Structure 1
Amino acid sequence: MSATETPTQQSVGTSTFAPPPRNGWIDHWEPEDPEFWESVGKPVARRNLIFSILAEHLGFSVWLLWSVSAALLTKAGFGFTPQQLFWLVAVPNLVGSLLRLPYTFAVPKFGGRNWTVISALLLVIPTLLFAFFVQRPDTPFWVFVVIAATAGFGGGNFASSMASINFFFPADKKGAALGLNAAGGNAGVAVIQFFLPIIVGGAGAFGLVKASQSGIVLERAGYLYAVLAVLAAVCAYAFMNNLRAAYSRPREQLAVVRYRHTWVMAFLYIGTFGSFIGYSAAMPLLIKINFFRSPIPSASIGINFVYYAFLGALVGSIARPFGGWLADKYGGARVTLGAFVAMILGTLTVYFTLTRLDTVPVPSPEKLAAWTKDPASFPGFSPEVVAAVNHNSDIFPFFLLAFLFVFAATGIGNGSAYRMIPAIWKTYAASAGPEGSQPRADAEAKSTKEASAVLGIVGAVGAIGGFLIPITFSSPWVADPVQATKSAFVVFTVFYVICLAVTWAYYLRPGSAMAKARV
């Protein structure tokens, strides 16, 4: 069968594929046809998936660039408050969530390959701005907020990548494919949180890498990721394809906003992906606030966040394709419901560990200012501070295990929730007529395009959780940052209970159409 305008001989079992003409456009694509899939579709889909993962991975790394660098700014000479640092962590998530809508609509308009090239090149902007301004401690805070906002370009990459890959795979393989694509992207969070401290000269790798004697050099990370972004754009240009079958007008895509399930799934995705990205962004600062004290750069006590901050994103990323696989096998709604049960149990456990922490005495702002000005005047940690920090450090393993359990649940929920969307729209198409009829075929073709649009809208709304979670942790209306953290986990637990109820009511309630379809 022909995969492009240029006829190419294909036979079942072969993997050769002539490079498509016309700037990478493929005009004929039928992944639901078993013969087409085995002879033509599978190798092309896999190749596009690989390079989509690469670009999305770098996008996530840039998106979460500030999640770990914000916690290192004090060592680089910046005097921002914990509330200000949480804003630097949160703003990229807000911008990234808003960009996901136009990024989704860009795929049918410009092509998945073409937009991957553009979106990868856009990452050069936040990385070079980061590299320039982290060398200037006198830069006003509002400038850093603007720079952090540009990192949101990386958050938009997820929506366009998922919308593109959704077209390449048949329905029974979408869960695993979308799960792998998303997991590869999500892993970018863990990679940036693990390697950035090492790259810039800080300690890392559980203490195996010692801090550089020359101090923190944050700009290295910006320059490195600018180069990697260009590399991803070149790879996308050389190895990816656009699908003519994915083409549609923005008006056709926006039509999905009238479906009730678009907004139900968007709400649930706030609970799954919003939690993953929000917790990933906030975890470095959470560990630093609750388990670490360093009044001057040369003196510290407690748990060093750079050793552990990446673990949450790593666990959540690994769990995501597993959630897609489980959803393919048992149904996305059942797996999503189980994920919310696990998240409720996990957040309650995290809250309990935080209630066991001792209050660490905090020196007055005047003393902190004097020690910062003259580090030699720092008298050392008082016995009360040492005792409290040591006690809290003993609790940290329980806090970490509980938090990693939550991350695993969010990853599974991410994979299963995204698998639900193509299944929901396939159920819509099934009502158009008997299998094999023309109305049914037309409805199924339409449902694939609509499902991709929904993936983008759901991803955009869900990512807002990445903004709300750090802001809730900073809670400017709560004077004590530790108390604000505990209150936030109570709020999150209540929200997950609501998400659980919504999942059951819409997708698992006996007798409902979606429950019968095993969405």
Structure 2
Amino acid sequence: MSALRQEADDRILREWDPEDTAQWEGGGSRIARRNLIWSVAAEHVGFSVWSLWSVMVLFMPTDVYGLSTGDKFLIGATATLVGALLRFPYTMATTRFGGRNWTIFSAFVLLIPVSATIWILANPGMPLWVYLACAALTGLGGGNFASSMTNINAFYPQRLKGWALGLNAGGGNLGVPAVQLIGLLAVAWIGDAAPYWVCAVYLVLLTIAGIGAALQMDNLTIPGVDLTAMKRAVANRNTWIIAALYIGTFGSFIGYSFAFGQVLVGHFRDGGATPADAALQAAQIAFIGPLLGSISRVYGGKLADRIGGSRVTLWVFLGMMAAATLLIVGSGSLAVCIAGFIVLFILSGAGNGSVYKMIPSVFDAAAQSKGFDNPADRADYSRALTGAVIGIAGAVGGLGGVGINLVLRQSYLTSGSATSAFIVFGVFYVVAAVITWAVYVRVPHDAAQAPQVDTSAPVSERLG
């Protein structure tokens, strides 16, 4: 492409503009797709490593490793917390180091916690802080989401961002059920040595992802997310409203992904199963929820491209409220537990896609309201703020996963069941639905008070 120069040695793309139709149709779409594929691959493996301990704890008997159910929830919360907090610096990393360069680093650095997990599993009986420290290191995989999403946001035009970001995030989210399924298969084929082999598989996959990123991805020179963009995003009320909504969608997805297996183990134990049988039975089911939630994220983003992100998000929260009510009413029933969780996973996945479609739409509208004379300046402003909010919302949403695990832990400690936890979650979904309707769906009395809107939505939604 004449309008796009690439330096072969360091794979730098210059003069990149996805909104330039001629450039996009002349080869830009192929470049974007190639970067998307390997971004998804690296993020997918990163998510698997992030949720690695949600699988490991299922096959760590209390009498061998000395970990209680509360300890296992705490391990999950620790991994979730670190992964969420790292999304802040990871958001700016692609601007500072380049999307390709950071993807290579973020894949290879995960070899450290995976190797440490093998060593810890081979030496049971260690104090709790050792498990927590290793779980914290796996949180590096959670940070990959922010850098990957910010990077891919810069590669795609506004009209395709819902699909591209949904596919990128959904492919990454699939890392959660993937590691759970690999753990299940390892148990079925190998038996007690399964945890070691799960980790060994990911040592190979991380190496492939890092090498693939080095050979196939590119760095961009266009302005991205920096401290200035972060400050602007922090000062914008829409950033925190969207982040709060993402707590309800992604926070639910990742929190339930870590906790679903443990909740199932409790049901099977109550039914008379031995600890080993309960763990195996839980593993046979636990991966289904995150799998469906990851797939639904792609379609949630695609649906949001058609009818508006805020409308999809509103219906998602109403459905999640109903699912939480079902789990409260049907507590004690294994069938209700499985059905309720599956619905929550599907809806939270769709909500992840719809909320993330809202971000570029809201800030593209904000950029247009600034009155930039140069379209390139407007695009840079929109891209930088979108990338910043992707990171902030991703981090805050991940903290919702911490809350899920801690609330469930406290519920089990006080009552021995998850019922009181789902009362808390149900109330939150009600509040989130009201906020979505009031801020982004309802037509305000004074449209001038809401200049930052979802431009893909119907007219009534755009005004809010």
TM class, shorter-length: over 0.9
Alignment partner for residue 172 of structure 2, among 161, 166, 185? Answer: 185
Q: Which amino acid aligns with 1:81?
A: S
Alignment partner for residue 56 of structure 1, among 25, 43, 51? Answer: 43
SS of 1:218's equivalent in the other structure is helix
Partner deviation per Cα, 1:47-75 (whole Å, 9 max, x = no partner): 00000000000000000001121121117
Where does residue 499 of structure 1 map in the other structure?
432
Alignment partner for residue 122 of structure 1, among 100, 109, 112? Answer: 109
Q: 4+ residue runs of structure 1 moved beyond 2 angstroms?
A: 1-6, 246-255, 290-298, 300-303, 395-399, 437-441, 476-481, 511-519
Q: Are 2:53 and 1:66 aligned?
A: yes
TM-score (norm 2): 0.93
Q: Which amino acid aligns with 2:380?
A: A
Higher-Rg member (1/2): 1
Q: Are 2:176 and 1:176 aligned?
A: no
Q: Which amino acid aligns with 1:400?
A: I
Distance in 2 between the 1:463 and 1:169 partners?
25
Moved more, 469-478 or 23-32: 469-478
SS of 1:479's equivalent in the other structure is helix
Where does residue 419 of structure 1 map in the other structure?
357
Moved more, 139-148 or 397-406: 397-406
State the 1:85 CA deviation: 0.8
SS of 2:10's equivalent in the other structure is helix
Distance in 1 between the 2:115 and 2:63 partners?
17
Where does residue 26 of structure 1 map in the other structure?
13
Q: Which amino acid aligns with 2:208?
A: L
Q: Which amino acid aligns with 1:399?
A: C
Distance in 2 between the 1:230 and 1:246 partners?
30
SS of 1:26's equivalent in the other structure is strand
SS of 1:445's equivalent in the other structure is helix
Moved more, 501-510 or 44-53: 501-510
Where does residue 405 of structure 2 map in the other structure?
470
- Once the two structures are superposed, the pairs formed by residues 444-459 of structure 1 within 5 Å of their partners are 444-459=379-394
Where does residue 431 of structure 1 map in the other structure?
369
Unaligned runs of 5+ in 1: 7-19, 204-208, 358-394
Partner deviation per Cα, 1:438-486 (whole Å, 9 max, x = no partner): 245422321111111110111011000111111111107843322xx11
Q: Which amino acid aligns with 1:313?
A: P
State the 1:141 CA deviation: 1.3
Where does residue 232 of structure 1 map in the other structure?
209
TM-aligned CA distance change 1:117 to 1:254, over 3 Å: farther
Where does residue 262 of structure 2 map in the other structure?
285
Distance in 2 between the 1:518 and 1:54 partners?
38
State the 1:302 CA deviation: 9.9
Where does residue 405 of structure 1 map in the other structure?
343
Distance in 2 between the 1:43 and 1:144 partners?
43
Distance in 2 between the 1:96 and 1:248 partners?
19
Partner deviation per Cα, 1:282-301 (whole Å, 9 max, x = no partner): 00000001233578656x47
Q: Is the 8 A contact 2:229 2:388 kept in 1?
A: no
Where does residue 76 of structure 2 map in the other structure?
89
Where does residue 219 of structure 1 map in the other structure?
196
State the 1:396 CA deviation: 2.2
Distance in 1 between the 2:414 and 2:267 partners?
14
TM-aligned CA distance change 1:475 to 1:297, over 3 Å: closer
Where does residue 457 of structure 2 map in the other structure?
none
Q: Which amino acid aligns with 2:365?
A: T
Where does residue 110 of structure 1 map in the other structure?
97
Distance in 1 between the 2:281 and 2:305 partners?
40
SS of 1:80's equivalent in the other structure is coil
Q: Is the 8 A contact 1:270 1:465 kept in 2?
A: yes
SS of 1:408's equivalent in the other structure is helix
Distance in 1 between the 2:63 and 2:43 partners?
29
Unaligned runs of 5+ in 2: 454-459
Alignment partner for residue 39 of structure 1, among 4, 9, 26? Answer: 26
SS of 1:304's equivalent in the other structure is helix
Q: Is the 8 A contact 2:52 2:179 kept in 1?
A: yes
Distance in 1 between the 2:278 and 2:249 partners?
34
Q: Is the 8 A contact 1:32 1:170 kept in 2?
A: yes
Q: Is the 8 A contact 1:339 1:413 kept in 2?
A: yes
SS of 1:147's equivalent in the other structure is helix
Q: Which amino acid aligns with 1:126?
A: P
SS of 2:23's equivalent in the other structure is helix
TM-score (norm 1): 0.83
Where does residue 443 of structure 1 map in the other structure?
378
- Overall identity of the aligned pairs, in %: 40
Q: Is the 8 A contact 1:289 1:481 kept in 2?
A: no
Q: Which amino acid aligns with 2:157?
A: P
TM-aligned CA distance change 1:493 to 1:62, over 3 Å: same
Q: Is the 8 A contact 2:18 2:24 kept in 1?
A: yes
Partner deviation per Cα, 1:271-320 (whole Å, 9 max, x = no partner): 0000000001100000001233578656x479810110001100100100
Give 1 or 2: higher helix fraction.
2
